[in-house]
Amino acid sequence: MRRVHITTDLKKIYDKLHAGLGPQHWWPGETPFEVMVGAILTQNTNWGNVEKAIVNLKKSGLLKPERLFKLPHNRLARLIKPAGYYNVKARRLKNFLRFLIGTYGGDIRKMAGRNTDVLRGELLAVNGIGRETADSILLYALNKPVFVVDAYTKRILARHKISAADADYDLVQQIFTRNLKKDVKLFNEYHALIVRVGKEFCRKIKPRCRICPLQKQR
């Protein structure tokens, strides 16, 4: 498929989603730091469960880099328990905090000032932060124009025959970034809409749904 068609298709999908569902106001989090924590906690986990964990951290007044980092593993694990994988995630949070504090003194504005590609490499070097988590942090916490890919995104492109079903993360990401304007607002909204529609329609109503903007109607 030629580039111009992909661009057109991607725009069509976006317009349809946006017209049907409206702006999603992502990421649901009050501060960039909260977004970062949420990005790690939501790995393979329902967002509702993550919210419970974040509420626990907030109520304890621990949603700050230094305080969270100082917390003993068992206490941290107990607080984030609702988010599942709590031992793994406690370790991953600590790894991230060690990086944030060690490299940027816990200063997120300082972190945001770093070159995006360099920063992405630094994040990926943290054990427990993979591509989706790194890109979520870059886009939703730091407002960098990075497209976030997830399982839904792959399914959508596959369904529209834009990419193969088993296309890997980097390829899918490139399809978006090379065919759309590198725009933070657009990337933000697009990924959020994909998640929203994936949740609400893709599984429940199948195989054909007239509301579902993901069904290619030609």
Partner DNA sequence: GACCAGGCACATC
Partner DNA sequence: GATGTGCATGGT
Binding site for DNA (CB under 7 A): 26-28, 38-39, 42-49, 52, 81-82, 84-89, 124, 126-134, 136, 140, 150-152, 166, 168, 195, 198-199, 203
- Residue whose CB is less far from DNA, 25 or 218: 25
- Residue whose CB is less far from DNA, 3 or 55: 55
* Residue 62 CB-half CA count within 13 A: 20
The three-state (H, E, C) secondary structure of 73-119, written as one string: HHHHHHHCHHHCCHHHHHHHHHHHHHHHHHHHCCCHHHHHCCCHHHH
One-letter amino acid at 99 equals F
Please report how close the Cβ of residue 18 comes to DNA at its closest, in angstroms. 17
Q: Find out whether the peptide bond into 47 is cis, omega within 30 degrees of 0.
A: no
**DSSP state, residue 137:** I
Please report how close the Cβ of residue 210 comes to DNA at its closest, in angstroms. 21
- Residue whose CB is less far from DNA, 188 or 215: 188
- Residue whose CB is less far from DNA, 48 or 207: 48
Please report how close the Cβ of residue 19 comes to DNA at its closest, in angstroms. 21
